Structure 1
Amino acid sequence: MMIGLVALALQAAVPSVGSTDAAGKWGVDYSPEQCIINRQFGSGPVKSFLAVDASPVTGTGYIVLLVPGVATKGTFGTATMTVAPGGATLRPIWFARRSKDARAAIEIGVGQDGWAAMAAGDTLTIQGPFASPLSVPIHGIDKAIAAAKTCGRTLLTSWGADPDAMIDTSGPNNSGSWISYSDYPPEALRNGESGTVKILLTIDPKGRPRDCKVVVSSRSPSLDATTCRIMTARATFEPSSRETRYVFQPIAWRVAQ
């Protein structure tokens, strides 16, 4: 069963059996379904955590923050994140998730340009749905990303993929080009089902999917089935002389509030 994004941050407080100290206070936890970058930050009686559900291809991914405070599930907005030194400014979308304790759980999507800036930084300041800006030490996250990519190669192999035959979809050619909210399965909408489906596509020499496998379920059969059906029908990639290539893709389905 997939560990939810909020649970990623919660589990960061307790090192797992498969845990490596990547760089100082950064850690990389791994399971048969995912690799997680995490660290604790801040001070005070209530602990704050940052966790990343790392892509097995890039070692980066969505950030989830677990911080003191309250956020209404389903609310969203634009955050302002500043990396120091350098002053790079990012404006990603944040999305509030359910938390089982007194902390707010905030998911933040960061693109590859943002991750490149963060990998070279020491401190990340985040302004968003918080009473005051958050300051997160990020020095050494580049080493954590490298450790997550090593973890990812093990995951890809366990799923039946060749880690050296992966197509990187972290740029413009990603799932957003093929799936939109209008594709939301009616049954899932009626039931208020949301979640992230992680799939592995097998790509033929012409750049078309010949197979789709759900490697981590959203726990919604209709979301899982719809994801593979649409991606198999619509996804296209550059042709290659290679007989078989692979694409790992997480697809996030969110019910609009």
Structure 2
Amino acid sequence: MKSLKFVVAILAAATMSFAAHAANWKPAGPWAADYGDDYCDLGRVFTDGKNQLTFMIERTQPGPLLRLMLVGEGVRPFRGAAQWSVKFGPTGQNWKAPILLSKTGDGKQYFDLGPTMMSPPAPGAPGAPPAFKPYKKDEERTAAKALSSFEIGEGLAEPITLETGSLDAPIGALQTCVSDLIASWGLDAKRHEALTKPVAPQGPANAWVPNGTIPFTEFRKALGGKNTFRIMVDETGKPTACVVQRATVPETVNKATCDAIMKNAKFTPAADAAGQAMPSYWITEVYGLMPPLGGGGGRR
């Protein structure tokens, strides 16, 4: 799948309807797409009349998870604040996101807002985990259609609202992109739409990679969805390939990590709608391969 960058005309034509009280950052252009071999990104520039912010939505595999990012000026977290309150408006649920700030190559602020979903799971009963529902693309589109802004409140010196317009068309574009994405990896996108069981590690993944393979000095470079590992897994649960996505740590570190995964990893294979084992993939960030703080885990 060739990397390409273009403006998606259909997204520019999406109807925008905003509440008057939530209109301090307006679009300065249409949605633009950046589709690569391992990611699907949509971005749009917003302005408050003085500053510009680029709001990015990323998806790297089928399913409900999205990663959100902000690049630009005009966002001022309180000094010492560790997290902020964010939501898709007007009816989305609030959630707390860590404030992870870095700089782009040209010196702009880069905030990684981490993973989320169009419809986060409803809280479970006291002491019970959240109630996750099977992912369905049409339900995600329905949820996105009702959302027309992105808001950051608690944690900022001045709360902001980005007037995104209906998110139905952008989410539809990402859904199409990730189907093409996994097809480019040699997998059956249609069978994955009816997946009944994803690939799962057998045992803790941090036991596969010897301690010290990924130095802690490199750990921060791989935060925020960077330098992820995509493991291709066949229908028997055997890893067949290890691909580094968006590498940010030295090639020698990534090669040693992939070599250890290919040698030591064991998986339970994915299953299709009929319950039959099928080739699929497993993606992890670096922290999923690191031993727990304080020791333990990992090979010595």
Identify the range of structure 1 (187-196 vs 149-158) with the bigger mean alpha-carbon deviation: 187-196
Structure 1 gaps, min length 5: 4-15
Letter in 2 for 1:156: I
Distance 1:234 1:43 in 2: 51
* Residue of structure 1 in register with 2:221 after alignment: 194
Distance 2:161 2:58 in 1: 20
- Residue in structure 1 matching 2:88, options 83, 91, 97: 83
Q: Which structure has the larger Rg over C-alpha atoms?
A: 2
The answer (yes or no) to whether the contact 1:218–1:224 under 8 Å persists in 2 is no
* Residue of structure 1 in register with 2:52 after alignment: 47
Distance 1:187 1:203 in 2: 23
Please report how far the alpha carbon of residue 58 of structure 1 lies from its aligned counterpart in structure 2 after TM superposition.
3.4
Query: Percent identity over the alignment?
Result: 17
- Residue in structure 2 matching 1:21, options 2, 6, 9: 9
Residue 212, structure 1, aligned to residue 241, structure 2:
yes
1:179-190 equivalences under 5 Å are 179=206, 185-186=212-213, 188-190=215-217
Distance 1:131 1:183 in 2: 44
Distance 2:259 2:60 in 1: 18
Deviation readout 1:145-197 (Å, 9 max, x if unpaired): 2112212222222222222343879x9x79xx7459x9774553245662223
Letter in 1 for 2:9: D
* Residue of structure 2 in register with 1:57 after alignment: 62
Letter in 2 for 1:64: M
Please report how far the alpha carbon of residue 91 of structure 1 lies from its aligned counterpart in structure 2 after TM superposition.
1.4
Task: Summarize the Cα distance change of 1:109–1:19 in structure 2 as closer, same or farther, 3 Å threshold.
Answer: same
Query: What is the DSSP-based 3-state SS (H/G/I as helix, E as strand, rest coil) of the residue aligned with 2:285?
Result: strand
Letter in 2 for 1:197: N
- Residue in structure 2 matching 1:242, options 265, 276, 289: 276
- Residue in structure 2 matching 1:145, options 171, 174, 195: 171
* Residue of structure 1 in register with 2:127 after alignment: none
Please report how far the alpha carbon of residue 246 of structure 1 lies from its aligned counterpart in structure 2 after TM superposition.
0.9
TM-score w.r.t. structure 2 length?
0.61
Distance 2:157 2:255 in 1: 37
Deviation readout 1:17-38 (Å, 9 max, x if unpaired): 4442342333322234432111
Letter in 2 for 1:164: K
Deviation readout 1:94-139 (Å, 9 max, x if unpaired): 3112224453211011333449566631222113654311211233
* Residue of structure 2 in register with 1:161 after alignment: 187
Distance 1:43 1:111 in 2: 25
TM-score w.r.t. structure 1 length?
0.69
Q: How many pairs were matched up?
A: 235
Structure 2 gaps, min length 5: 13-29, 122-139, 294-300
Distance 1:97 1:198 in 2: 18
Query: What is the DSSP-based 3-state SS (H/G/I as helix, E as strand, rest coil) of the residue aligned with 1:91?
Result: strand
The answer (yes or no) to whether the contact 1:185–1:223 under 8 Å persists in 2 is no
Distance 1:18 1:121 in 2: 24
